[in-house]
Structure 1
Amino acid sequence: MTYAAVVLDNDGVLTELPNRETMWRAAERTFQRFDLSAPSGEQVRALVAGNVEAIRSLCQEHRIDASTFCYEAAAAAVREQKRELRDGLRTLYDDTSTLWNLDAPLGLVSDNQHETIRFILRFFGIEERFDAVYGNPYTPEGLHRMKPDPHYLDEALDDLGTRDALYVGDSAVDVEAAANAGVDSALVVRDDDAPDCEPTHRIESLGELSALV
């Protein structure tokens, strides 16, 4: 089985996952920006996870515009992730170098903020390898389109001009998003903690994609 194009997730696939403390710090600074002192752990987790209903409820309770709150949350997350990358606390996986050997166009679709994704590609000098790039805008509307919603995966496939594609992710939600878009999936399992799902393919390294393209 071969595919005409490959679309990849970012966090956990191309780059190491953001540090938990990094995202937690960004969320806490957002709460501070709106003078919301001592947020509960549940509220911080909801913001980090992009739980749009919990965010709307919080904003209604404190009479904060949800779009403004999300804008500030996104800006804080982008700043913290850029700092993390510049400080060398997070980097590309070694096997991303094999992507240049694939004879297929590549796309990138992530739930991370679009600005962060673009920064990562420029920072590591790999932007030219991708023909379609979509991060998820951290807005109330954008959060509703987080995976497993296939919206941005569909957009990338339209840009690539084919539905004969493989979506590569590291989580069950990636596998579900691929199914919702009507394409096959490859689950990257880099350790023993594999998610409970049924992808089309299971791989341990991006180097294994050469056998599928």
Structure 2
Amino acid sequence: MTYDAVLFDNDGVLVEPPPLELLTEAAADAFAAVGVEDPSEADVDAISYGVTPDRLRDVCSTYDVEVQDFWQTRDRTASDAQVASMRRGGKPRYDDVATLDSLADPLGIVSTNQQATIDAILSHHDLDSLFETAHGRPPTVASLRRKKPEPYYLDRALADLDAESALFIGDSETDVLAASRAGIDSAFIRRSHVAAVELDVTPTYDLDSLWDLHELPGVTLAEN
């Protein structure tokens, strides 16, 4: 069996993930932008990372702000903060991303980060030409219900690449679950921030580095 495509999560796989403090500050900025000057620390944390639609609606009800307008503001401030940090040297690309040049399979990205952030990362790190498709989230509440471990964006990437068999590389349990639900293989990459993580699900492969892709059955290497 050979894969029709190889897909990648972005943060923690291709580039270093943003520090939680950066996302928390961006969330506080989002509250300020809609006129909420003194949100509770718990509510700032709730919309910083791992946001659920129900929790978002609860927070918006507490401060009497419109859900979709607030979420668009939050996603914009989170994206702007990450892009500004990247331009100062944050979100560096992992060295082993260089191995993607040696892969012959069509490549794609499926990320829970904002589409605007993914587009900026690809441009900043000169990765555009490597990937035939790249899916982040649009700034909608509906996107929260579709993010991994739901396979929605993986399915869209597979359709873009006309791929039936594929490998998805991620750094979280939700990545492995999303791949399983999409009916494709998964590889869990043990970056430093997840080196000791014990998963409750079993990926198809466990990788130390993207260089390990060279050794996987089904991955096609470009001819020299």
* TM-score, normalised via structure 1 length: 0.96
- Higher mean alpha-carbon deviation, 79-88 vs 184-193, is at 184-193
Give the residue type in structure 1 aligned to 2:72.
Y
Q: Structure 1: where are the runs of 5+ without partners?
A: none
Contact 1:171/1:195, CA 8 A, preserved across alignment: no
Residue 222 of structure 2 is matched in structure 1 by none
**Match of 2:137, SS?**
coil
* 1:194 to 2:208 alignment: no
Shift of 1:195: 4.1
Pair 1:105-2:109 in alignment: no
Structure 1 residue runs of 4+, over 4 Å off?
none
AA in 2 matched with 1:124: H
Correspondences of 1:201-212 after superposition (within 5 Å): 201-212=205-216
Q: Report which stretch shifted further, 48-57 or 146-155.
A: 48-57
SS at match of 2:82: helix
**What amino acid is the match of 1:4?**
D
Deviation at 1:132, TM superposition (A): 1.1
Amino acid at match of 1:189: R
SS of match in other structure, 1:157: helix
The secondary structure found in structure 1 opposite 2:147 is: coil
Partner Cα distance (2:121, 2:90) in 1: 13
Partner of 2:5: 5
Deviation at 1:31, TM superposition (A): 1.1
Q: Does 1:53 align with 2:54?
A: yes
What is the TM-score when the length of structure 2 is the normalising length? 0.91
Opposite residue 199 of structure 1, the aligned amino acid is: P
**1:146 to partner: Cα distance:** 1.0
Q: Counterpart of 1:71 in 2: which secondary structure?
A: helix
Amino acid at match of 2:178: A
Q: Percent identity?
A: 39
Residue pairs, 1:174-185, within 5 angstroms: 174-185=175-186
What is the CA–CA distance in structure 2 between the aligned matches of 1:73 and 1:99, rounded to whole Å? 33
Distance 2:105 2:147 in 1: 26
Across the two proteins, how many residue pairs are aligned to each other?
Answer: 213
Tell whether the 8 Å contact from 1:113 to 1:137 is kept in structure 2 after alignment: yes
The more displaced of 133-142 and 151-160 is 133-142
Aligned-residue Cα RMSD (Å) equals: 1.3
Cα deviation for residue 60 of structure 1 reads 2.3
